[in-house]
Amino acid sequence: MGLLDGKRILVTGVLTDASLAFAVARLAQQHGAEVVLSGAGRGLSLTRRTARKLTGDVEVLEMDVTRPDQLVAAAAALGRRWDRLDGLLHAIGFAPPECLGGDIFRAQWDQVQVALQVSAYSLKALVEAFRPMLAAAGTEGGMGASVVGLDLDAAVAWPVYDWMGVAKAALESLSRYLARDLGSQRVRVNLVAAGPVKTVAAKSIPGFSTFEDTWAERAPLGWDVRDSEVVAKACIGLMSDLFPMTTGEILHVDGGVHAVGG
Ligand code: NAP
């Protein structure tokens, strides 16, 4: 028996098979879920190609989270397929190059607002678009829906992460407000704060190797930057029926780095 038997899950943020979201989609299928993906912009064809590495004919919706028209169209398309949504993975992040690299003064508002919109506000935009379908999972005795977002612990200032760190702090706060406002509809909203994993997004951050090089040494449990499945397992757990009373939570999957001093 799978942890997600019979559940219907929308997974955003699959670009390549190195994407954290790909590990979530694959594991969700292995646990019995039906999965639909979404992709955006120039990456959409890559998402479609990556979808073929999953089991069966996986539908890919076009959905740039900064495009309200695409959010509406994607929700309508998914609504024609499913009458409810049990799980929603937010695995979306982007910041212009000026926002990263180790100088917080370099970026101006034009660049910062892009980072905040794509990496933080998009959680609200996404949940809003699929809210009726998420709420439907909590009716007629259903267990309720689970929204999971991917975070990098924003409690401290990291090297090079700069405005992405600020965006993650916003994402953390936003997840708590969404948890507050969606609890009455039995929709849970939680984040998984992951340690560094080698993905396209991670490689685009100049100096990200400073995270990767030191993480394993600092982590009480050790850390493998090529292992996305440990992050996926936590997402699957939060989407399963094993955490029915957990919302507004940040679950650290970082080998324990958040718990120890430098
Ligand atoms: P990834 O494979 O590059 O995934 C990032 C995804 O965000 C891509 O699919 C990208 O699609 C999508 N995206 C960017 N702008 C978008 C937009 N406007 N609309 C819709 N989708 C958009 O990298 P990843 O590392 O797995 O990142 C997934 C999440 O995990 C991010 O939130 C990231 O911050 C978080 N995270 C990553 C790490 C790590 O070390 N890798 C650690 C902690 C947390 P396009 O490229 O097609 O735009």
Residue 1 lies in a domain: no
Binned at pLDDT 50, 70 and 90, residue 61 comes out as very high
- Determine if the pTM surpasses 0.95: yes
Q: Is the pLDDT of residue 142 over 90?
A: no
Q: Is the pLDDT of residue 262 over 80?
A: no
Mean pLDDT of 155-160: 94
pLDDT at residue 119, rounded to an integer: 98
Q: Is the pLDDT of residue 200 over 90?
A: no
Share of the chain above pLDDT 90, in %: 90
- Closest approach atom of ligand 1 to CA 119: 32
1 Cα to the center of ligand 1, angstroms:
31
- Mean pLDDT estimate for the chain: 96
**Domain count across the chain:** 1
pLDDT at residue 207, rounded to an integer: 84
Report whether 153 contacts 105 (CB < 8 A). Answer: no
pLDDT at residue 55, rounded to an integer: 98
Instruction: Give the catalytic positions in this structure.
Output: 161, 168
Binned at pLDDT 50, 70 and 90, residue 103 comes out as very high
Residue 3 lies in a domain: no
pLDDT at residue 107, rounded to an integer: 98
CA distance 193 to 197: 12
Token pair in block for residue 186: 């039995």
Report whether 15 contacts 39 (CB < 8 A). Answer: yes
Helical residues (DSSP H) of the chain, grouped into ranges: 20-30, 44-51, 68-81, 109-116, 122-136, 162-182, 200-203, 209-218, 229-239
Mean pLDDT of 224-252: 97
Mean pLDDT of 75-94: 98
Picking from 212, 226, 207, 220, the residue whose alpha carbon sits closest to that of residue 252 is: 220
Whether residue 171 has its Cβ less than 6 Å from ligand 1: no
Going by alpha carbons, the residue nearest to atom 8 of ligand 1 is: 13
- Closest approach atom of ligand 1 to CA 20: 26
CA atoms within 13 A on the CB side of 127: 26
pLDDT at residue 209, rounded to an integer: 84
CATH number at residue 139: 3.40.50.720
Q: Is the pLDDT of residue 171 over 80?
A: yes
pLDDT at residue 141, rounded to an integer: 82
Residues near 204 by beta carbon (within 8 Å), at least 6 away in sequence: none
pLDDT at residue 201, rounded to an integer: 86
Domain membership of residue 196 as a residue range: 8-259
* pLDDT tens-digit map of 108-134: 999 999 999 999 999 999 999 999 999
Mean pLDDT of 166-178: 98
